[in-house]
Chain A
């Protein structure tokens, strides 16, 4: 009994210590006056994390929009309500699927890359040598990646929604023959910027922060061996995906007044 309690205690303590170290890393990287000379580094990370994710985001957005239109049409047409197809697809994409799926994709594509890169920099002593040159890696390596995630994620999520709606309109209007005027006007009528779009953007900002935070911490804290980096990369994808899904539930709970 005592030994079980002790194990539980040890486990909780180790979780607290990881959270503490991760929080300290984030705090030290972010709450420092950003320097203008670091702007090129930030641009480069936005390119690496954001721009290079555009293709996968657009492809997935298109497929999901198209599928939503197919399935939605099947159900709506039973009640003769297929003119609401555009509205339904847009709401689902903007409030839920856009931020969540782009968050998951971001974790898989960008998060894993960040962890592996930082882990390898640590293993090859590049972080150490940067410290000894008198440059803080938190500022030069960690901070630009955190900011880049913060900036790219909402944009990627919006792109996802736009491409998804376009995909839905191709399937719904051009193929299944939903009346075009109703498709767009119901959407225009029913989707409100503040009540729907903005809340989706807030979600995506939170997801961007969480995914990059997990990714940089796992990389920075990785054991500097090949197994260590492999494990850290896996942890990044698992933890940040779960975090996105769980946080989505709570954000929805809080923001949509349940």
Chain B
């Protein structure tokens, strides 16, 4: 078995006329915490969807567990996904069933465990995110942050060998954020779960990631451990890390010259 859990080879991907990735290659080593960072709109979430096989690259290949994701049949793809957990930005809980049933859902579908054991497992997972007391509530009765924590409990229900987190820190209060950071770290240390974090929260991400990839303008502009990145010479990486408004990576969506546009008015 090779050392990398996920290998992305020279992937191009466009949405409409906008090119999101232009020949990106990266490797996610097994059992490490890897962060994919970049300004919003740089296609970080798209990267997760490519890895999960929900999108197919225009060219290039995505390998997960030495399988080429875009060449799998539907059934093989769904089998592969049982070993992947994904935490969606919105949580994406099933709104028609309770918190308990949400967390129990993957267990009931993919295992033949007796109901008592499922109950115990669900309570363990909910305890880990601090929401055991909310097990009878429905997703609509939870706050955004609580939704996300339940979703986290659900995505780790089957103890996947790889976890993907889409913006796990956004919109959490400091305490919940601490809990989630701790959880990601524990999952990785105790179970050796390969973790892919997509985020633009530099501080939290840098505190747990082993490797960080920085993506901007459809290209990989920096890679390395947090320390290496902080000391990187590339002005683009520096701009991102220091949070400078303008630099090689433009803050503005491509537009005409501001002054001309203001003075001209609309050409109607």
A positions within 8 Å CB-CB of B: 28, 124-126, 128-136
Contacts and interface: CB of A to CB of B under 8 A. Distances in A.
Contact of A125 (B74, B84, B92): B92
B82 A129 contact: no
B63 interface: no
A125 B110 contact: no
Interface in B41-59: 52, 54
Interface of B: 52, 54, 74, 78-79, 81-82, 84-86, 88, 90, 92-95, 105-106, 109-110, 151, 154-155
Contact of B86 (A28, A129, A136): A129
A134 B94 CA distance: 15
A136 B92 contact: no
Contacts of B79: 134
Contacts of A136: 74, 78
Contacts of A28: 74
B109 A128 contact: no
Nearest to B89: A125
Main secondary structure of the interface of A (DSSP, over half): helix
Nearest to A120: B95
24 contacts: A124-B90, A125-B92, A126-B93, A126-B94, A128-B88, A128-B92, A129-B93, A132-B52, A132-B81, A132-B86, A132-B88, A132-B155, A133-B81, A133-B106, A133-B154, A134-B78, A134-B81, A134-B106, A134-B109, A134-B110, A135-B78, A135-B106, A135-B109, A136-B78
Contacts of B88: 125, 128-129, 132
Contacts of B74: 28, 136
Contacts of A133: 81-82, 105-106, 109, 154-155
Contacts of A132: 52, 54, 81, 84-86, 88, 155
A224 to B, nearest CB: 11
Contacts, number: 51
B175 to A, nearest CB: 25
> Closest 5 CB pairs between A and B?
A125-B92, A129-B92, A134-B82, A134-B81, A132-B86
A208 to B, nearest CB: 23
A126 B54 contact: no
A12 B164 CA distance: 41
A126 B86 CA distance: 12
Contacts of B109: 133-135
Given A125-B88, A136-B74, A131 B94 contact: no
Nearest to A140: B109
A165 B142 CA distance: 51
B90 A125 contact: yes
A132 B52 CA distance: 7
Nearest to A139: B78
Contacts of A128: 54, 88, 92
A135 B79 CA distance: 9
Contacts of B93: 126, 129
Between A124, A129, A132, A135, the greatest number of chain B beta carbons within 10 A of the residue's beta carbon is seen for A132
A124 B95 contact: yes
Nearest to B105: A133
B84 to A, nearest CB: 7
Contacts of B54: 128, 131-132
A28 B77 CA distance: 15
B45 to A, nearest CB: 10
Contacts of B81: 131-134
Contacts of A129: 86, 88, 92-93, 151
B82 A124 contact: no
A24 to B, nearest CB: 11
A39 B155 CA distance: 25
Q: Among A130, A133, A135, which residue has the most Cβ atoms of chain B within 10 A?
A: A133
B78 to A, nearest CB: 5
Given A132-B52, A132-B86, A134-B79, A126 B110 contact: no
Given A133-B105, A136-B78, 6 more contacts: A128-B88, A129-B86, A129-B93, A133-B82, A133-B154, A134-B82
Contacts of B90: 124-125
A12 to B, nearest CB: 22
A132 B48 CA distance: 11
A126 B95 contact: yes
B92 A124 contact: yes
Contacts of B154: 133
B186 to A, nearest CB: 22
A124 B94 CA distance: 9
Contacts of A125: 88, 90, 92
Contacts of B84: 132
